[in-house]
Amino acid sequence: MPENRLMYLGFVLIVAAVSVWLGAELTRRIEWAVRYVGGAGVVLVVLGVALEFWKAKNAGPKSP
């Protein structure tokens, strides 16, 4: 890395700006998928809760 702090700060700002720009571009391109991924997450949570209730109902008393 450069020893000049101004050059170092410049590199940091360039990397930060490019990272923010890439994040905005990716968000713009996949915005349509967010609602489907969120819906899939809700469905998985509901299925997981139902599976836990089903396991608890079918599990008999534990013997020591």
> In this structure, is residue 64 part of a structural domain?
no
DSSP state of 3: S
Q: How many domains, the chain?
A: 1
Token pair 């139902």 is at which residue? 50
The model carries a pTM of: 0.54
62 three-class SS:
coil
In Å, how far are 25, 27, 39, 49, 52 from 18, measured between CA atoms?
10, 14, 31, 42, 45
pLDDT tens for 7-42 read: 999 999 999 999 999 999 998 999 899 889 999 999
> In this structure, is residue 15 part of a structural domain?
yes
> In this structure, is residue 62 part of a structural domain?
no
Token pair of 52, please?
A: 């836990």
pLDDT band for position 1 (cuts 50, 70, 90)? low
> In this structure, is residue 63 part of a structural domain?
no
Residue 4 pLDDT greater than 90, yes or no: no
Residue 48 pLDDT greater than 70, yes or no: yes
